[in-house]
Structure 1
């Protein structure tokens, strides 16, 4: 039979061989169980370090996580702190280079009032790893307590470079702290080095900073130090000052950004400024409805404001905030393509910040006086800020209303 020569009768194994093979299988199974249980414990330690520690109490990483949980729980008492210290010391024996274990021991030393021992432990932790956030936070607090602002900011910088959790913890604190001029100056010095976190912190300040005035001061200091601040951040900072009712501060910061701006006049009379991110103090087209278009269209030298609204639709299509001193003012400009019946033509209105209308000037049809328009407006005392608006009236014309403003200026009369 083909292949018969390859067949061999099975040799029966001796009891000794079977015992050896069985023992080897048991050892392999035991090793596999230990390896699997250790891996499981390490994974589990992120969500339940106490249970993980019960599975494997010889892994220093797991011990550190449990000790950290014990000392940072809000209701930790003396027994928990003592238990955490025992676990941390054992973790340090298992993992001699464990910065986390030293952090726990340092926190316990501080709790006992032994600041010297705490400093020594945190210094060892710092020498082992720059990524231990608990150590970095303690070093920040210690530097602040000693009045070492430069040292505190140095540790801020390290924490924000090395920990993904640090921004959530430290941005709000630093954003509040820059109200202190000394801290603001040191923060500018650190940001001059362009650390990787600087852009995110600037964005945080512009959108979530607790004090708009402090944010604007820091941004101006950064500009003076030749540290670029994104236009969207500066626009947000100006608008935050306006929202806070700090109109003078908003104008001061805005005028530093827009050289030559005069608070007694509207800005950008011919729509040629090409502002990528407008503030409330710049021209801002307003989209009323899905059928309305409102945009500033620019050429190489100047621009034009173009608008269109369907029949029976009206409202604000363009606006610019003002910070005019009390007095009489003249608005003048030129339109293109406006042709509407009486009572349906667009008009300019100046509103006080409290909602009072200070006056309005109708835009005549563009066929009259080459489209030129003008009028007088008065700003009285007690009106620190105003908004100049172009309002479209609902039209009965089938095509609605459309046109362009190629120039407009509000100036002292």
Structure 2
């Protein structure tokens, strides 16, 4: 009854300090009147006489002292509360607010850390506040140091902020700093943040963040030419499979790397594989190698490079794999007014019973001469 009907529980057991403390906490809620707070303080002091370890009673005294403007008393009582237990969320939130008021960033994050490690409901309350604070460079730097200590709530926060942070660019700066501390973000968090940055039009920030978590990439050429990454949750800058309406497309492990394998029913056409590019203006060559493609020229698959708005920059047909030992190549020119591009492998409809099947084990788009 002390949880469901604390007033009734107090009537039945007025000597129980734990119940008296819970009643004091209920009466000192955000909407409490002056009279209710006075009664809450009286009950809190009574609870501590009955049970000196009744932490909710201490929390009541802390909060009510703060509301009366007596911060010095609130801090003194908080010290006693912390001696008893660090698990009371109300006093911990007060400590956070007190540290914020004093401009104490390390103290604020220390109390965040304690609250998030000791309360299951704390993330719902504190994560939204914390992600709003990462736009401040000083807070972001201190938060990186906190997360570098690998707190139990760290991975949960990283996943949360990747999709919910109000400022995607500030989130990217946070993740880049974490990467330098060898705190690797999950593929899902990386993909979510890249998507947010691109959706908001921050292509340069999206690439900067992606390159920080994917060492060795070069914006002047496509990535993962031999399909070895095979990410479970790819970002727009990785290879993205299209498997829809009977089209089957997979990336599999091969003898010398990975293999992109596809099967398209005879009546269908459309995209099979796609990767976003951020190429500077200039001339580029696409080179690759296919296996098992064997059909009439008019129905052969082809690579196309689109500008972000859909304008086509050219096509490179993938010939039958029996030609030139399966090698294919072609050229594109990226104009100055084409900020971002999409490299896509397209299938064409065919009247062959087997449809379109085949594999690509190598493809690379690079500057001519580079």
Fold shared per TM-score above 0.5: yes
Distance 1:367 1:299, change over 3 A: closer
Q: In structure 2, the residue corresponding to 1:90 is in which secondary structure?
A: helix
Q: In structure 2, the residue corresponding to 1:72 is in which secondary structure?
A: coil
Report the equivalent of 1:62: 19
Report the equivalent of 2:362: 407
Q: Distance in 1 between matches of 2:102 and 2:169?
A: 28
Shift of 1:116: 1.1
Q: Which runs of 5+ in 1 are unaligned?
A: 1-43
Q: How does 1:270-349 map to 2 (within 5 A)?
A: 270-273=226-229, 275=231, 277-289=233-245, 291-299=246-254, 301-349=256-304
Q: Distance in 2 between matches of 1:330 and 1:267?
A: 14
Larger relative contact order (CA 8 Å, sep ≥ 6): 2
Q: In structure 2, the residue corresponding to 1:254 is in which secondary structure?
A: helix
Choose which of 187, 205, 210 in structure 2 pairs with 1:254.
Answer: 210
Shift of 1:159: 1.1
Q: Which runs of 5+ in 2 are unaligned?
A: none
Cα deviation code 1:256-298 (max 9, x no counterpart): 2332211111112222345565322111222113x33211223
Q: How does 1:215-230 map to 2 (within 5 A)?
A: 215-230=171-186
Report the equivalent of 1:395: 350
Report the equivalent of 2:225: 269
Give the TM-score of the pair, scaled to structure 2. 0.91
Report the equivalent of 2:334: 379
Higher mean alpha-carbon deviation, 357-366 vs 271-280, is at: 271-280
Report the equivalent of 2:85: 129
Q: Distance in 2 between matches of 1:164 and 1:89?
A: 28
Aligned residues: CA RMSD: 2.2
* Structure of larger gyration radius: 1
Shift of 1:300: 5.1
Between Structure 1 and Structure 2, how many residues are aligned?
368
Choose which of 63, 67, 85 in structure 2 pairs with 1:111.
Answer: 67
Q: Distance in 2 between matches of 1:346 and 1:382?
A: 28
Q: In structure 1, the residue corresponding to 2:360 is in which secondary structure?
A: strand
Q: How does 1:177-192 map to 2 (within 5 A)?
A: 177-192=133-148
Q: Distance in 1 between matches of 2:166 and 2:92?
A: 24
Report the equivalent of 1:92: 48
Distance 1:310 1:274, change over 3 A: closer
**Contact 1:288/1:315 (<8 A) preserved:** no
Q: In structure 1, the residue corresponding to 2:315 is in which secondary structure?
A: strand
Report the equivalent of 1:19: none
Q: In structure 2, the residue corresponding to 1:404 is in which secondary structure?
A: strand
Shift of 1:319: 0.8
Report the equivalent of 1:364: 319
Q: Distance in 2 between matches of 1:229 and 1:384?
A: 28
